[in-house]
Each structure stands twice: as C-alpha cells, then as structure tokens.
A and B are shown apart, each in its own frame.
Chain A
Amino acid sequence: MRKMIVIAVREYSAAVKTKAFIISLLAVPIISGGMIGVQFFLKDKVDTKERRFAVLDYSGTIYDAVEEALRQRNATDIFEGEGEARKQTKPRFSVVRIDPATVDAERATYELSERVRDDDFMAFVIIGADVLSPGEDGQGGGVVRYHSNSPTYEDIQQWLRTPIGDRVRQLRLAAADLDPKIVEAATRRVPVQNLGLVALDEEGRITKAEKTNRIANRLVPFALMMLMVMVIMVGAQPLMLSVLEEKTQRIAEVLLGSVPPFQLMLGKLVGMVGVSLTLTTVYLVAAYIGIHQAGFGEFFPTSLVWWFVLFQALAVLMFGSLFAAVGAAVSDQKEAQNLLMPVMVLIMLPMAVWINVVNEPNSTMALTLSLFPPATPMLMMIRQAVPPGIPVWQPLLGAGLMLLTTVVFVFAAGRVFRLGILMQGKGASFGTLLRWVWRG
C-alpha cells in the first residue's frame, strides 16, 4: 500500500510538471477568455461607415415607405445606450432613388451593376411594377430583386424585408378594402412559451414555472461531456507515455524489483486520478466563478459536481487501465496509436450521439446508451444535466456497471501490463493481448 502511494505520488508530480498538462490546464481558460476579450474589444470597433444602396421602383408605390423607414432607423436604431454613453454601433444606411424614367429598362440592371463596381453604392434593389400582385396559388407574383457584389453582407437585404413587406401588405389590404388593424389582429401568431414544471412551495402554494433557457439547457450538458472527455485524455496520454518510458528505458526492471506489477499499475492509475481531479477542480472552480460573474449562476450544475467527480474517477480508472496496458504492450508510440484506436472510438462515441440524448434524455435509446459503461460517464452526465434530470437509480446503476467494468478492465490490463512491461522488441498484436488476458 505504501509503495503504491510512492508510485502514485511520483506519477502525479511527473505528470503535472509536463508541458502538456500545464498547456491543457491553461488552454481552455485562455482560449475562451481570449475569445470573450476579442468580442468585447470588437464590440466598440464595428464598422460604422455609411452603406449606400439604390432603389429602382417601377411600381412607384414602395420607395417612399423605404425612405421613411430609413430615416427612422438612422435616427434611433443604429445607436445604443443613453445620454453620454449613447454611441453609434451600426452603420447608417442611405438610399439613392433611381427614377425609372431616366433609365433604359433593357440596360438598367447592367448600368446599375456597373455603378456598384464603380463604388457609387454597394447594392441596388429593383422593385417590379407587378410587386403588388400576389400571384395565383402561391405561384408567380411580384418579386423584389436585390443585387450586390458582397453576397456575405446581408444586413441591407434583411433590413429591407420589413419596410417593403409592410408597405406591400398595407397596399394589398387597401386594394381588397380590408382594415389593416383587423387583419393584423386576426392573423397574429400565438406564442408557445417554453417552461419547466411547477411544484408546491413550503406553504402549499403552486410555484411559478421557470422559463427554460434553450441555450443553457444544451450548453451545460455539452460542456460537462467535453470536460469529461478532455480530463480522460489529459490524464491517460501521459500515463501511457510513462509506462512506455519505464518499459523502453528498463526502469520497469528496477521498479518490479521493489513492487509487484499489479501494485505498480494501480499506483500509476491512482496518480492519474489525482492528475485528472486536479484538472477538474481547476476547471469547475473557474467555471463557477466565471458563470457567477456573468450573472448566470443559476445554470451552474452544482448538484451534479459530486456525480461528475465519481464518474470521472471511475472513467479515469477504466480508460487509464487500457492506456497503461497499451503502453506496456507496445515498443513505441506509433504502435501505441494503432492499438489505441478502438479505445479512442469508445471515448469519442458519446460525441456522435449527444445531441439525440439531449433532445430526448428519457428515451429508451438514451437510457440504453448511457448504461453502456464506456459511454456512461459522458451520456449519464448529459441526461442528468438536462432539466428536470433523471431518476437517481439510473446514475447509480450506471456507476455500478462502470465499477464492474472498471474492475474487469483493471484486472485484464494488469495481466497485459505484467507480461508486456518486461517484453522487449516488437510490440504485441491484438490477438497476443487477448491471449495474455485469457491465460494470464
């Protein structure tokens, strides 16, 4: 036992001193912090240069409405803040009226295109004379054509929809002799609110249902899954490399003169659990502080932290034992990558199905997948993180199955480890590994 701890302590201190660990410790906070910082910085740096476009209105009925909407937009919509903090955050739009009488209908599109190329304005809109015609059975009807040389800049096109659409609707209603107010009221859509369930509070009153947050409901499970995968990878890779080093540098011969191979492997696994818990602690604390600072404290999955730690410790032991066995069975990193392929597939599997699990966390498929032990730490976590959660027997059963699997994996890996760690020369094939596991 004492020797196992000596091994674990060395393993831990060797792993946390590697560059890879420090990089992975800092990478996520730096990258996410950096992205937030860049966005914050760019927020004030939006391009507020005036955008000009031209309108050629053959119908003669739409242009005035566009110009009026534009005036309003330039007066209010492009500013944010009040008083002294008020500043322009969006570009002004300006419009050039093209009189249909001044252009040759045949060549109008070409000539306007040329003016866009000459930077006279950045886009032009052609409103046909038949814009008010609704067509028949949804076919035909008036079309408004928007031409520009910058297809990814959609702000003008999207903005135009409202004033043109409103004006066309108004004119059509008037032509049909209908009151726009009545029509608007009659055709207004009914909103469907997304709410959680209600419960009784201490005084027996029915609580107010909480509005659910679509983004948070997906982001939290996703973040938990990614953290789990990352923690496994960050812990397992150095574990495999250190086993490989001990094997190729013949350190194993000296170590095995002091500790039995199974204890040696267990010690290394315990060290790896320590490494991954360190990483988790740093990340969860950082996330807790970050989320609270940002004012979204309610979304931090506090109640899941202990489940996360439990699943993670089991996952690290389960996958770590496979990584240790692979490290002992091969003779260089290249061979290791080949043997690790199936293990990696197991670890990555949840990423392929997570969205289905989030959308229907209580489906039979989601339950079955989350009880498949290699996927349990990620998928059970996801199902628990989606409100309202799942019955507690499910994560308990998942943890129990994982524990069994972990014991089997550690036992099998122990056999491979014992035989492989002293074997020199070419690495063992998959078949050889199975034989080692079987015969011991």
Chain B
Amino acid sequence: MHTVEIEHVSKTFGTHVAVNDLCLSVPQGSTYGFIGPNGSGKTTTLRMIMRIYHPDAGSGAIRVLGETGASAANDRVGYLPEERGLYKKMKVRDVLRFYAELKGRRDHKQAVAAWLERFELSAWANKKVETLSKGMAQKVQFISAVIAEPDLVILDEPFTGLDPVNADVLREAVLEQRRRGATVIFSTHDMAVAEKMCDYVFMIYKGKKVLDGTLDSIKDQYKQDIIRVQVDGNGFDPHALPGVEQVNDFGRMQELRVGSKADTQEVLKALMGQGRVRHFEITRPSLHDIFIRIARPSAEATPDA
C-alpha cells in the first residue's frame, strides 16, 4: 500500500525542466526524506504531490492516498510550505484554530492548547504572528500542518532556521506523527537528519531521480568501501594490496578505497604479510559522502542549476 505514487511525471516552467520523468512510491506509514541541492526540484515535487502544481500535460499521474484528483484541497494531507504561510495580523491561537477548522476539525480547542504547551508557545497564544521569531513561527506553521491529524504530512524544509534545541523538539514531533501512523515526507539539506530519521531517502538532482530507497540499499548501491589502516613495518606498500584503487596517505594513517568487488579479507591478509597491523577499519560512505559525490562535479559546472 503506497500513500503516494508518482508515475513518469515531468514539470516544465517555460524552458526549464524542473522535474524530469520522475517515478516514486512512498509506502504508507513511512518517513521519506527528500534531499538534493538547491534548485534541483525538491519543492516542485512536493508541490506536485500537494497538487499546487500540476504535471505537464501528457506526462504521468500522481496518486495521493489512492486518488488522482486535480484539487489541492484534501483534508487528509497536511502541508508546511518552504516559506511561511501565516497571517501576520492574526493571533497565534486564532490562526491555528482557523487552519484546524479549514481542515474540517471542529474539536480543536484542546489540541491547539496542547500543541502550544508542547512547543512552549502558550505565552504567545494571544500575540500576533508578526511578533514571533522565525523559529517560533516555524513551530506554529508545523502545528497548523498537523493539527487536523492528517494521514499524509508534507514538510518542506521543516528544520531550517531552528536552533538545536527547537530542532530536537520538532524532530520528536515529526517522529510522533509517524508513530501515529501518518506517512511523513520532508525535504532537508541536513544529511545527518535524513540519515537518522528517514526510512527511505530520495535524492533529486537537476530534476532527475538519482537516489531512491532505504538507507541500507542506497549505501549498498554506493558501496565502495574505504579501509582505514595503520601498519608498523618497513615493507608496507598500500599500492601493492589486492583490489586497492586509490590511496589517501595521511602520514600515520592511510585510507584505502577498494573496488566494489574486492574482498576486504584478502586486503587484511596481505596487509598482515607487510607488517604489524595496528588499526584496520572498514567504513561505509555516509549519505553526506554520497550526496557530495553525486552533486559536486557538475554543480560547479552549471551554477544556474
């Protein structure tokens, strides 16, 4: 059962192809992280899932919660836009009640109070939105997205602009949405957050999907193990080891990049023949490494991307 299914969808603005032939399936109850450099198509994809944007004519369909409607209005979907979407002149409590009623939730009084309490915003309930700091406004915006307990929560850059304490509070609130059974899709620049929170990671680059799957499967896909070694002995020659393609020599420690088919056990065996092995560590690339590896070379070549 998939909450969101995107089939061969493209979106063009003028001549700029923002999203190119994208396929994506978001399983129900999962937490899906959207990553990618600025301007790569994350927000466009999220807005298409929201049905704020519609895919190009002739390209595929987007099914959200089993439906392929044209209207963005869906009480089962909650949305936190990239930029703030709050009435500046309204009081915090009023704006939240308004959004709750708009989503068809009538018994919102308790829920609004509970959320304000939880985010330490109770003292601001009767203040106007324009008096809030950026971080506080972000929390209010998050409450407005989840106040009606939607089945699908779409968060565009929810952690941007938050200090570490508030980021933790918000992360816990996001995880709670998932425990409640909701499907959560969020975009982020923070690879560490994506790596820690997401069941699935989707990376879009220049409008094309470049990564999609569970973290483990992605890391398997980009498996190019790095072995960190420290060896005592004069016979040590890392270039002579089997399967080693590249050596980064840090002096006291060497980083060996081995081919994906190489057997690390053979490398260790050969090393032991060269000298006394003091340190042998097989590391896997972090999401950050993978992101950089995909995005760096051409991101510099095309600054407008």
Residue ranges of A at the interface with B (Cβ–Cβ < 8 Å): 2-3, 6-7, 10, 14, 17, 245, 249-260, 263, 422
What chain B residues lie within 8 Å of A263 (beta carbons)?
Answer: 73
> Which of A6, A256, A257 contacts B98 (CB under 8 A)?
A6
Q: A371–B75 Cα gap in the complex (Å)? A: 44
Question: Does B295 reach chain A (CB closer than 8 Å)?
Answer: no
Given contacts A253-B79, A256-B52, A257-B79, 18 further A-B contacts (CB under 8 A): A3-B104, A6-B101, A6-B102, A17-B89, A245-B87, A249-B86, A250-B83, A250-B84, A254-B79, A257-B52, A257-B73, A257-B77, A258-B73, A258-B75, A259-B73, A260-B73, A422-B52, A422-B53
Q: Are B50 and A253 in contact (CB under 8 A)?
A: yes
Nearest residue in A to B77 (C-beta to C-beta)? Answer: A257
28 A-B residue contacts at CB 8 Å? A3-B104, A6-B98, A6-B102, A7-B102, A10-B98, A14-B89, A14-B90, A17-B89, A249-B86, A250-B82, A250-B83, A250-B84, A252-B85, A253-B50, A253-B52, A254-B79, A254-B85, A254-B99, A255-B102, A257-B50, A257-B72, A257-B73, A257-B74, A258-B73, A258-B102, A259-B73, A259-B102, A263-B73
> Which of B83, B87, B103 contacts A258 (CB under 8 A)?
B103
> Which of A245, A256, A422 contacts B73 (CB under 8 A)?
A256
How many residue pairs between the two chains, A and B, have CB atoms under 8 Å in the bound complex? Answer: 68
What chain A residues lie within 8 Å of B86 (beta carbons)?
Answer: 249, 251
What chain A residues lie within 8 Å of B88 (beta carbons)?
Answer: 245, 249
Question: Does B144 reach chain A (CB closer than 8 Å)?
Answer: yes
Q: Are B73 and A250 in contact (CB under 8 A)?
A: no
Q: A14–B53 Cα gap in the complex (Å)? A: 29
Using a CB-CB cutoff of 8 Å, which residues 87-107 of chain B contact chain A?
Answer: 87-90, 98-99, 101-104
What chain B residues lie within 8 Å of A14 (beta carbons)?
Answer: 87, 89-90
Q: A81–B260 Cα gap in the complex (Å)? A: 115
What chain B residues lie within 8 Å of A253 (beta carbons)?
Answer: 47, 50, 52, 79, 81, 85
Question: Does B265 reach chain A (CB closer than 8 Å)?
Answer: no
Q: A256–B79 Cα gap in the complex (Å)? A: 10
What chain A residues lie within 8 Å of B144 (beta carbons)?
Answer: 254
Instruction: Please give the distance in Å from A254's CB to the nearest CB on chain B.
Output: 4
Q: Are A250 and B102 in contact (CB under 8 A)?
A: no
What chain B residues lie within 8 Å of A251 (beta carbons)?
Answer: 85-87
Instruction: Please give the distance in Å from B137's CB to the nearest CB on chain A.
Output: 11
Instruction: Please give the distance in Å from B294's CB to the nearest CB on chain A.
Output: 29
Q: Are B52 and A260 in contact (CB under 8 A)?
A: no
Q: A249–B52 Cα gap in the complex (Å)? A: 15
Nearest residue in B to A264 (C-beta to C-beta)? Answer: B73
Instruction: Please give the distance in Å from A17's CB to the nearest CB on chain B.
Output: 8
What chain B residues lie within 8 Å of A17 (beta carbons)?
Answer: 89
Question: Does B302 reach chain A (CB closer than 8 Å)?
Answer: no
Q: Are B102 and A249 in contact (CB under 8 A)?
A: no
**B42-80 toward A: CB 8 Å interface, digit per residue (1/0)?**
000001001011000000000000000001111101110
Instruction: Please give the distance in Å from B2's CB to the nearest CB on chain A.
Output: 20
The interface on chain B, measured as residues whose beta carbon lies within 8 A of the other chain's beta carbons, has a size of 30
Instruction: Please give the distance in Å from A8's CB to the nearest CB on chain B.
Output: 12
Q: A259–B77 Cα gap in the complex (Å)? A: 12
What chain A residues lie within 8 Å of B78 (beta carbons)?
Answer: 257
Instruction: Please give the distance in Å from B16's CB to the nearest CB on chain A.
Output: 13
Nearest residue in B to A256 (C-beta to C-beta)? Answer: B72
Instruction: Please give the distance in Å from A179's CB to the nearest CB on chain B.
Output: 83
Using a CB-CB cutoff of 8 Å, which residues 16-55 of chain B contact chain A?
Answer: 47, 50, 52-53
**B97-130 toward A: CB 8 Å interface, digit per residue (1/0)?**
0110111100000000000000000000000000
What chain B residues lie within 8 Å of A7 (beta carbons)?
Answer: 102
What chain A residues lie within 8 Å of B84 (beta carbons)?
Answer: 249-250
Q: A251–B85 Cα gap in the complex (Å)? A: 4
What chain B residues lie within 8 Å of A255 (beta carbons)?
Answer: 102
Instruction: Please give the distance in Å from A255's CB to the nearest CB on chain B.
Output: 7
Nearest residue in A to B150 (C-beta to C-beta)? Answer: A257
A-B interface, 3 closest residue pairs, ranked by CB to CB distance from nearest:
A258-B102, A254-B85, A250-B85
What chain B residues lie within 8 Å of A260 (beta carbons)?
Answer: 71-73
What chain B residues lie within 8 Å of A245 (beta carbons)?
Answer: 87-88
Instruction: Please give the distance in Å from A262's CB to the nearest CB on chain B.
Output: 10
Pick the most buried of A17, A254, A257: most chain B CB atoms within 10 A of its CB.
A257
What chain A residues lie within 8 Å of B72 (beta carbons)?
Answer: 256-257, 260
Instruction: Please give the distance in Å from B187's CB to the nearest CB on chain A.
Output: 14
A257-B50, A258-B103 are contacts. A249–B73 as well, Cβ < 8 Å?
Answer: no
Instruction: Please give the distance in Å from B278's CB to the nearest CB on chain A.
Output: 57
Instruction: Please give the distance in Å from A9's CB to the nearest CB on chain B.
Output: 9
Q: A143–B144 Cα gap in the complex (Å)? A: 87
Instruction: Please give the distance in Å from B19's CB to the nearest CB on chain A.
Output: 16
Pick the most buried of B53, B73, B82, B88: most chain A CB atoms within 10 A of its CB.
B73
Instruction: Please give the distance in Å from B263's CB to the nearest CB on chain A.
Output: 52
What chain B residues lie within 8 Å of A249 (beta carbons)?
Answer: 83-88
What chain B residues lie within 8 Å of A10 (beta carbons)?
Answer: 90, 98
Q: A422–B75 Cα gap in the complex (Å)? A: 19
Nearest residue in B to A258 (C-beta to C-beta)? Answer: B102
Q: A257–B102 Cα gap in the complex (Å)? A: 9
Instruction: Please give the distance in Å from B75's CB to the nearest CB on chain A.
Output: 7
What chain A residues lie within 8 Å of B71 (beta carbons)?
Answer: 260
Pick the most buried of B47, B74, B82, B103: most chain A CB atoms within 10 A of its CB.
B103
Nearest residue in A to B156 (C-beta to C-beta)? Answer: A253
What chain A residues lie within 8 Å of B85 (beta carbons)?
Answer: 249-254
Q: A255–B71 Cα gap in the complex (Å)? A: 12
What chain B residues lie within 8 Å of A259 (beta carbons)?
Answer: 73, 102
Q: A249–B83 Cα gap in the complex (Å)? A: 8
What chain A residues lie within 8 Å of B82 (beta carbons)?
Answer: 250
Instruction: Please give the distance in Å from A19's CB to the nearest CB on chain B.
Output: 11
What chain B residues lie within 8 Å of A422 (beta carbons)?
Answer: 52-53
What chain A residues lie within 8 Å of B99 (beta carbons)?
Answer: 254, 258
What chain A residues lie within 8 Å of B103 (beta carbons)?
Answer: 258
Q: A282–B162 Cα gap in the complex (Å)? A: 48
What chain A residues lie within 8 Å of B79 (beta carbons)?
Answer: 253-254, 257
Q: A249–B86 Cα gap in the complex (Å)? A: 7
Q: A17–B74 Cα gap in the complex (Å)? A: 30
Instruction: Please give the distance in Å from B153's CB to the nearest CB on chain A.
Output: 11
What chain A residues lie within 8 Å of B53 (beta carbons)?
Answer: 422
Instruction: Please give the distance in Å from A330's CB to the nearest CB on chain B.
Output: 18
Q: A422–B86 Cα gap in the complex (Å)? A: 15
Instruction: Please give the distance in Å from B76's CB to the nearest CB on chain A.
Output: 10
Q: A250–B88 Cα gap in the complex (Å)? A: 12
Q: A260–B75 Cα gap in the complex (Å)? A: 11
What chain B residues lie within 8 Å of A257 (beta carbons)?
Answer: 50, 52, 72-74, 77-79
Q: Are A254 and B89 in contact (CB under 8 A)?
A: no
Q: A255–B104 Cα gap in the complex (Å)? A: 12
Q: A253–B72 Cα gap in the complex (Å)? A: 9
